[in-house]
Amino acid sequence: MKVVSLILARGGSKGIPGKNIVDVNGKPLLYYTANASLNSNVNATWVSTDCDKIKKVAQNIGCKVIDRPEEISGDNSKSDEALIHFAENIDFDILVFIQPTSPLLKSSDINKGLQKMKNYNSVFSVTKEHWIPRWNENGEPDNWNINDRPMRQDVKETYIENGAFYITTKEQLLNSRLRYSGNIGMIEMPLHRSFQIDTMDDLKLIGKLLK
């Protein structure tokens, strides 16, 4: 059973220029998820990129690189397109798709996900969310009644994708064209390690959490 990971790290980024290799506490952002993967139970860690600079950084870290075609590297390109491109060109049985914007990911999280794949077709990382009152843009309660506000402990907890990683088989990926399908399981990560970097504020926060 050949298990590989794939980190998608294209060059274009509007929110934070050069985001995937931006300096975070003296190391490129890509280093953190790549290091988690390299120290996990995967057989090989790959990076899919359209950027020569990212390619060199990835190789220096110890990753293998697959060149991401221009037609699936634009702002509107979906991650699943790059996953399918990888699956159609690289030999593997199980794929761990990791997002470089989740630098608080640990190798133990990946290993827990791989262990759970014994009973599922796909697995992805989540964080638990307790009920909080949400409002829509019109200042109206979103799916709750202001006259009958529930107690937090009386509302079932939900789980939200934290975007850190997704695991699936090559067969499932090529058949469904999706990052997860079939019988799907979840791996819970704590909230304090579920933050993603999308803005400069995120970058500052996670830089402090990584110290």
Distance (Å) of CA 141 to CA 133, 152, 163: 7, 15, 27
Q: Which entry of 149, 152, 177, 179 is annotated as an active-site residue? A: 149
CA torsion angle 58 62 68 72 (round to 10): -70
User: How many CA atoms lie less than 13 Å away from 88 in the CB half-sphere?
Assistant: 12
Among 164, 170, 168, 162, residue whose Cα is nearest residue 185:
168
Q: Is 121 helix (H, G, I), strand (E, B) or coil?
A: coil
Give yes or no for a contact between 27 and 51, defined as CB atoms under 8 angstroms apart: no
The sign one gets for the Cα dihedral 157, 158, 164, 170 is positive
User: How far apart, in whole angstroms, are the C-alpha atoms of residue 180 and residue 168?
Assistant: 6
Give yes or no for a contact between 189 and 166, defined as CB atoms under 8 angstroms apart: no
Concerning whether 149 is annotated as a catalytic residue, the answer is yes
Give me the active site residues, please: 149
